[in-house]
Chain A
């Protein structure tokens, strides 16, 4: 019984997260400006992180947690660096 509930809810959640990532990807392609693209790449990182966590629930193991943490870290660093780049035109001053 609970196996069925978990299997279905994980599948639905993964489909919803995939749809969320598709929306963000569409905004990334459409733009229109660089800041919109950076914002949507940040949303893509968050979607990927949550998707990894749902994989962890599906597999019943916590090894996906470290990967999710690294994705979250990379997402922040890249967004901050790109925003800084937009502001000044240089990443490292």
Chain B
């Protein structure tokens, strides 16, 4: 850890703050993953880690390397962009797969397939009368 000693104190404090913020949020997300009772509640938990959890650690890494090399090191933005775009896609795929499986097995607490069309008809009926 000799190289870090050259770092100004403000940069070290900022890096430490964002590091601990990010990793705490990631830990909270994982605790939620463990604690929530149903799958549809659990799907909310990892987004903590993938939004500001990842964001915090990436900002810390950017500050640290930029100050250490005294030039902007911004390639962490690529990971941030990648994670922001891909997490919703994989979570949506998972939610749809879970819904499909629950429906095909007839489990409780799952909205039926035709509910969408029904509620629309209801709205149309109520607007007609």
Instruction: Check A-B contact in the complex, CB < 8 A.
Output: yes
CB distance from A26 to the nearest CB of B (A): 6
Question: B1 contacts A6, CB within 8 Å?
Answer: yes
Question: A54 contacts B57, CB within 8 Å?
Answer: yes
* Interface hub of B6, B9, B97 (most chain A Cβ within 10 A): B97
Digit string of A42-70 for contact with B (CB within 8 Å is 1, else 0)?
11001101100110111010100100110
Q: For the side of the interface on B, what is the size category?
A: 35 or more
Q: Looking at chain B's contact residues, is the secondary structure mostly helix, strand, loop, or mixed?
A: helix
C-alpha spacing A13/B59, complex, angstroms: 14
Question: B61 contacts A20, CB within 8 Å?
Answer: no
CB distance from A71 to the nearest CB of B (A): 10
Question: B20 contacts A12, CB within 8 Å?
Answer: yes
C-alpha spacing A31/B64, complex, angstroms: 38
Chain B residues positioned under 8 Å from A19 (CB to CB):
27, 30
Closest A residue to B34 by beta carbon equals: A23
Question: A9 and B97 in contact (CB under 8 A), knowing A43-B49, A46-B26?
Answer: no
C-alpha spacing A87/B102, complex, angstroms: 11
Q: Interface size (A, Cβ < 8 Å)?
A: 54
Question: B22 contacts A50, CB within 8 Å?
Answer: yes
Question: A23 contacts B33, CB within 8 Å?
Answer: yes
Chain A residues positioned under 8 Å from B97 (CB to CB):
35, 83-84, 86-87
B127 contacts A by Cβ under 8 Å:
no
Question: B30 contacts A23, CB within 8 Å?
Answer: yes
Closest A residue to B96 by beta carbon equals: A87
C-alpha spacing A26/B24, complex, angstroms: 18
Chain A residues near B (Cβ < 8 Å): 1-3, 5-10, 12-14, 16-17, 19-24, 26-27, 33-36, 38-40, 42-43, 46-47, 49-50, 53-54, 56-58, 60, 62, 65, 68-69, 72-73, 76, 79-80, 83-84, 86-87
A–B complex contacts, Cβ < 8 Å, 15 sampled: A2-B9, A3-B4, A6-B15, A9-B20, A13-B20, A16-B20, A17-B26, A17-B27, A43-B29, A47-B26, A54-B23, A57-B61, A69-B79, A84-B97, A86-B97
